[in-house]
């Protein structure tokens, strides 16, 4: 059992922008203790066995303890499939204690002090909780019953839309680096940093009630350790909403332990061959292979581009393989150093990638890329999203203004409009959406509304930005306003062209919502003397005519 520190965990890194935000954050954390954990396991005939667990504690918007890490001898051999994920061998576990020895300390760390609201936090919590529940039941014990917060489902409720649901996707979206992916220590500390950041963002949006926020995150899902379904047999992740992971050749998964550590020509060629194989096998661990490479990220990207070049060859393009590698490269694209580099990458690859389309959205099995298999947007539809932050560059007040001028003689012109006209439409549209969010999150509501209008008038049809503009148009609530909002959504949806970007689904939902409001609006006949809405009486006329009531009994005489 070991304890580790990561970063300045004993310092408060958050400097709220206003007393109101500070008050909201304090209210959100009142009486709250988050127990953040991650487990690693192996698979055997009787289900998963724990081999490593880590726990970090958070209170009052900061880490309040060093991360506790423990390994367990599972009593079964390490299977090749999970070895390919975490790299832990039988020899590594030979001298570790059994779970029965670990259980008292683990249980103590899962319980809080009197009066505390203790919540277990994990990324893909059903897996971690399922593994632990099985271990407790093997000892004829019950795991402590705790409410659960799954960080896979929290980002979108606070306005963050990562490229996928994996931990690395969310970490990339928030600029957090995982020091040791697929280890209990690295994943726990990354999850702790993520939940702290997400709750700060939630507080900046006015969230004050943690339990209300948690209930929305876990809606229609088992939300306590006592009700979550145990991890399924023979699966490394227990997810009832996606297909099981592919079973890859042992020779391939064993090769996941090789790391690109230098620019030696032979090592580079071997790594490229292995990454190419990841693409052709639609391997969901391609991103881990890229993340583990130790040379400079630009050098890694340059080496990986040669793999893309092979897979995207015009005469024999393998679309799902290209999507697999693009998804693996997304953190590197997001981390490009400046606008010039980001635009150069876009202009080099846009002509090659755009004609490929995407994976078949109906195919969630062996022939689709990892994102499509799990119901996430295809990387071929979203790769420009990762370039957009780098394309914005180092923002200043002047550069943000030049993205799209909202006042003065230059109103309606700017960088994104130029990009849109220069065969960079998808990059322009998502960059415009990010700029809109920057204005909105800075409290510049009027500026963001004007920005959405001017972007739409310039032809930009990002579904998220269109939904924001439709909401603005429909705000008055009368029939004409609602029709304008609906027409705006319909116009943008006609430009979807089969994209799997989930922003389009949200835009369709916005159109349906406005159509429902329109139906309600049309079901009224006016306002009464007291200012209340008077609805049409479709089935109940003002003066109903009733047939004479028949007598049940008739008496003669």
Q: What is the DSSP string of 164-212?
A: SSSHHHHHHHHT---SSTTSHHHHHHHHHHHHHHHHHHHHHTT---HHH
How many beta carbons lie within 10 A of that of residue 29, not counting itself? 20
Q: Span 236-263, mean pLDDT?
A: 63
Q: Span 244-250, mean pLDDT?
A: 65
**Which residue from 469, 471, 467 is spatially nearest to 504, judged by alpha carbons?**
467
Per-residue model confidence (pLDDT) at position 556: 53
Q: Which segments of 393-509 are extended strands (E)?
A: none
Domains of the chain, first to last = 2-217 (3.30.420.10), 250-381 (no CATH)
- Sequence-separated (6 or more) residues with CB below 8 Å from residue 529: none
Q: Grade residue 5 by pLDDT with cuts at 50, 70 and 90.
A: very low
Please write the tens of the pLDDT for every residue from 194-226.
Answer: 999 999 988 888 888 898 888 888 876 778 888
Please write the tens of the pLDDT for every residue from 62-80.
Answer: 888 789 999 999 988 888 7
Helix axes of 19-29 and 184-204: crossing angle, nearest 10 degrees: 130
Burial readout 426-458 (b: 16 or more C-beta within 10 A, e: otherwise): bbbbbbbbbbbbbbbeeeeeebbbbbbbbbbeb
How many beta carbons lie within 10 A of that of residue 277, not counting itself? 18
- Residue 524 CA to residue 95 CA, distance in Å, equals 75
- Ramachandran region of residue 115, left (φ > 0), alpha (ψ -120 to 50) or beta? left
């Amino acid at each position: 059992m070991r304890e580790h520190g990561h970063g300045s965990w004993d310092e408060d890194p958050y400097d709220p922008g206003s007393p109101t935000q500070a008050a909201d954050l304090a209210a959100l954390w009142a009486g709250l203790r988050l127990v953040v954990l991650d487990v690693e396991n192996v698979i055997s005939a009787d289900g998963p066995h724990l081999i490593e667990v880590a726990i970090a504690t958070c209170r009052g918007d900061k880490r309040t303890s060093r991360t506790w890490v423990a390994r367990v001898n599972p009593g079964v051999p390490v299977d090749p499939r999970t070895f390919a994920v975490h790299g832990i061998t039988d020899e590594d576990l030979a001298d570790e204690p059994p779970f029965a020895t670990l259980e008292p300390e683990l249980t103590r760390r899962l319980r809080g002090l009197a009066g505390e609201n203790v919540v277990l936090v994990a990324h893909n919590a059903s897996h971690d909780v399922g593994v632990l529940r099985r271990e407790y039941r093997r000892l004829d014990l019950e795991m402590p019953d705790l409410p659960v917060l799954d960080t896979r489902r929290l980002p979108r409720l606070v306005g963050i839309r990562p490229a996928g649901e994996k931990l690395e996707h969310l970490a990339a979206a928030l600029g957090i680096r995982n020091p040791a992916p697929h280890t209990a220590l690295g994943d726990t500390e990354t999850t702790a940093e993520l939940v702290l950041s997400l709750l700060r963002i939630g507080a900046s949006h006015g969230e004050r009630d943690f339990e209300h926020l948690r209930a929305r995150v876990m809606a229609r899902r088992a939300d306590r350790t006592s009700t979550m379904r145990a991890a399924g047999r023979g699966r490394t992740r227990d997810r009832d909403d996606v297909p099981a992971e592919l079973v890859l050749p042992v020779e391939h998964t064993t090769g996941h332990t090789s790391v690109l550590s230098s620019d030696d020509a032979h090592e580079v060629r071997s790594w490229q061959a292995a990454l190419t194989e990841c693409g052709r096998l639609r391997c969901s661990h391609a991103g881990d292979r890229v993340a583990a490479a130790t040379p400079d990220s630009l050098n890694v990207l340059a080496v990986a581009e040669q793999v893309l070049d092979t897979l995207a060859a015009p005469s024999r393009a393998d679309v799902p393989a290209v999507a697999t590698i693009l998804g693996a490269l997304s953190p590197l694209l997001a981390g490009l150093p400046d606008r010039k580099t980001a635009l150069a990458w876009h202009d080099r690859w846009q002509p090659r990638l755009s004609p490929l389309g995407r994976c078949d959205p109906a195919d969630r099995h062996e022939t689709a890329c990892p994102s499509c298999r799990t119901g996430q947007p295809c990387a071929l539809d979203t790769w420009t999203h990762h370039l957009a932050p780098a394309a914005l560059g180092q923002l200043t007040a002047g550069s943000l203004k030049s993205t799209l001028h909202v006042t003065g003689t230059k109103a309606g012109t700017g960088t994104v409009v130029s990009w849109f006209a220069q065969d960079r439409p998808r990059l322009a549209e998502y960059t415009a959406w990010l700029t809109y969010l920057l204005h909105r999150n800075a409290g510049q509501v009027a500026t963001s509304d004007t920005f959405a209008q001017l972007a739409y008038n310039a032809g930009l049809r990002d579904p998220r930005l269109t939904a924001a503009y439709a909401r603005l148009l429909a705000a008055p609530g009368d029939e004409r306003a609602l029709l304008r909002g609906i027409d705006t959504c319909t116009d943008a949806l006609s430009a979807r062209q089969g994209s799997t970007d989930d922003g389009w689904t949200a835009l369709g939902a916005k159109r349906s919502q406005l159509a429902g409001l329109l139906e309600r609006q049309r079901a009224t006949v006016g306002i009464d003397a007291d200012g209340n809405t008077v609805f049409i009486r479709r089935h109940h006329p003002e003066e109903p005519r009733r047939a004479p009531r028949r007598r049940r009994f008739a008496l003669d005489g």
